[in-house]
């Protein structure tokens, strides 16, 4: 269905403020002018909420998190950026596998399924997902969904 992406993101962030016990600050930054996209609302919710949950979970108390919405001619780009623990280079290929959990997250609760679901949802839209991350600096996930 046709979604107003800006409204969708703002509503989603409102949901997140309610249960963010780590007092992270989520910044919403948008570029471009076309904010409507033909996407499945449930799949998009699943993509963004899992990425934001990870960003919160793997961030320090009070950390900054950014949700970027970029509308380009041929695709919509979503980015979730955090200043958290980061993902070691050698694990960055494995994190989308069901039940895979990083070696540096042993004392943080999780099942290792979030990103497997995200990847599936992205593929159902013929999209792509990338990660850029540095241990101790932070992580940025980029999701590109063609129009």
Q: Identify the H or E element spanning 77.
A: strand 75-82
Q: How far is the CB of 38 from ligand ATP (least distance, A)?
A: 26
HEC-encoded secondary structure of 20-34:
CCCCCEEEEEEECCC
Tokens of 85: 């623990």
Q: Is 127 in the site for Mg ion (CB under 5 A)?
A: no
Please, which of residues 103-142 interact with ligand ATP by CB under 6 A?
105, 110-116, 139
Cβ pair 24, 59 in contact under 8 A: yes
Length of the chain: 147
Cβ neighbours of 57 (radius 10 Å): 17
Q: Is 102 in the site for Mg ion (CB under 5 A)?
A: no
Which positions from 62 to 101 touch ligand ATP by CB under 6 A, shown as an x/- string? --------------------x-xxxx-------x----xx
Residue 95 binding target from ligand ATP, Mg ion, none, CB below 5 to 8 Å by type: ligand ATP
Give the residues lining the site for ligand ATP (CB under 6 A): 50, 54-55, 58, 82, 84-87, 95, 100-102, 105, 110-116, 139
């Amino acid at each position: 269905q046709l979604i107003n992406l800006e409204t969708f993101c703002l509503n989603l962030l409102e949901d997140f403020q309610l249960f963010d016990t780590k007092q992270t600050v989520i910044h919403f930054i948008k570029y471009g002018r076309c904010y409507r996209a033909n996407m499945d609302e449930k799949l998009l919710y699943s993509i963004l909420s899992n990425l934001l949950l990870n960003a919160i979970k793997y961030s320090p108390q009070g950390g900054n998190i950014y949700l970027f919405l970029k509308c380009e001619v041929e695709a919509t780009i979503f980015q979730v950026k955090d200043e958290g623990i980061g993902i070691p280079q050698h694990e960055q290929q494995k994190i989308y596998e069901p039940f895979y959990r990083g070696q540096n997250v042993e004392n943080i609760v999780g099942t290792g399924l979030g990103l497997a679901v995200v990847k599936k949802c992205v593929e159902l839209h013929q999209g792509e997902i990338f990660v850029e991350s540095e241990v101790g600096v932070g992580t940025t996930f980029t999701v590109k969904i063609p129009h």
